[in-house]
Amino acid sequence: MPSVVRVGVLGCASIALRRVLPAMTEAEGVELTAVASRDPDKAREVARRFGCETAGGYDDLLDRADIDAVYIPLPTGLHAEWTGRALTAGKHVLSEKPLTCDHATALDLVDQARKAGLWLMENYMFLHHGQHRKVRDLVAGGRIGEPRVFSASFGIPPLDPADVRYRPDLGGGALLDVGVYPIRAASYFLGDDLDVVGSVLRLHPDRGVDVAGHALLCTPSGVTAELSFGFEHAYRSRYALWGDQGRLTLDRAFTPPPAWQPVIRVESQDRAEELTLPADHQFRNILESFARSILQGADYTAQAEAITRQARLVDRVRSAAVRVTA
């Protein structure tokens, strides 16, 4: 049995260079083998920096016999196309989120992966940080009583005007870039039966993409999720769980750096407590989880359901939205 998964990288996006490739050099069970880029000079520079080989282009990388899996950090609108090509080439896939721009395509790709016996995973790296398991344990232990409301917000400052996230043809927009994080977190804490009650998307007057939004989700029992997102905001990355006996909040929820020590604040009627947790490395953790799943032949059912459920919720947020141009 192989002891490592040999990974090729399709593209040299900022998230790959800043976070994921450095983590690949540290992760157990992962071997960074080759990188491809539309710019050969950039591919060579990245390969030198991370000690791997270059491939002539994306298709050349997929043709390599020494690649078991690919990581795809391309613009959102290209994830589905290259995921499908990678699966056809017999490669496992870790794609940056979101995997697709719509639910129907997510269903097709999950079915393709399942039939081929390949592992397909979205890079919601924050789910692999220990702070969220601790939060879930505290809630399960009754620290806030019965949950009534989950609220989350993820916003970042305005982007460079040339940023691909302002391009509708490449899957741009705040919903697909930052809005998917609060939506995925709501499912993580409130379960699989969430549905969308309503939403608002604020559209840029010239660029043709949404730059901010808010969504209200609800479980069958009436627990609500209030989610806000955008990329024309002061930075905010936070969620809270409000129960009938207390409230719990967490800052830096979605993008904590590896050295960050999270602080969970728990408040009740007559006391407040802050719990400081050890630092954790969510980028390395998700890479090791991806590799273990492949090497151990893990059951793909839960991962497939998570991908398609998330895509459905994103579709519902989009279709239910009141659109405001401002």
- Please give the positions annotated as active site: 97
Measured CA to CA, the distance from residue 91 to residue 58 in angstroms comes to: 13
Element (H, E) at 24: helix 21-24
Kindly report the number of other CB atoms within 10 A of residue 237's CB atom: 20
For the chain, helix, strand, coil in percent to 5 are: 40, 30, 35
Measured CA to CA, the distance from residue 251 to residue 153 in angstroms comes to: 10
How many whole angstroms from its chain centre is CA 11? 17
Kindly report the number of other CB atoms within 10 A of residue 173's CB atom: 27
Classify burial at 169, counting beta carbons within 10 Å of its beta carbon; exposed 0-12, middle 13-18, buried 19 or more: exposed
User: Can you name the residues that pair with 240 across neighbouring β-strands?
Assistant: 151, 249
Dump strand ranges (E) for 224-295: 224-230, 236-243, 246-251, 263-268, 272-276
CB neighbour list of residue 199: distance below 8 Å, 6 or more residues apart:
213, 214, 215, 216, 317, 318, 320, 321, 322
Maximum Cα interatomic distance, the chain, rounded to a whole number of Å: 63
Contact 280, 133 (CB under 8 A): no
